[in-house]
Amino acid sequence: MLATRGDEAGALAAATSAAGALTTGGMCLHAAAARRRQGELLGGDGGRALVANASGWMQGQGKRDPDRITALYAPGFERGG
């Protein structure tokens, strides 16, 4: 919701925190979705690498559409609106 309100810094912090906590908690698919959101918000080469790594992990787990999985597991990060 933070990104939809224009608080991209807050959204990035939330996605980063969530990715770490979900990884620690063993919720790997949720963590990958959070890492994709983190990468989308970060942008640049580092952000693209996060998205690519998380997408690759999802595909390695048999998930054919990382975009849809991310929308399901980490909604509310869409910008502007």
User: Over the stretch 26-66, which tens digit does the pLDDT of each residue have?
Assistant: 999 999 999 999 999 999 999 999 999 999 999 999 999 99
Give the Cα separation of 27 and 78 in Å (integer).
Answer: 22
Structure tokens at 38: 């983190």
Q: How many CB atoms lie within 10 A of CB 79?
A: 12
On whether the pTM is more than 0.75, the answer is yes
Contact (Cβ atoms closer than 8 angstroms) between residue 29 and residue 17: no
pLDDT tens, position by position, 16-35: 999 999 999 999 999 999 99
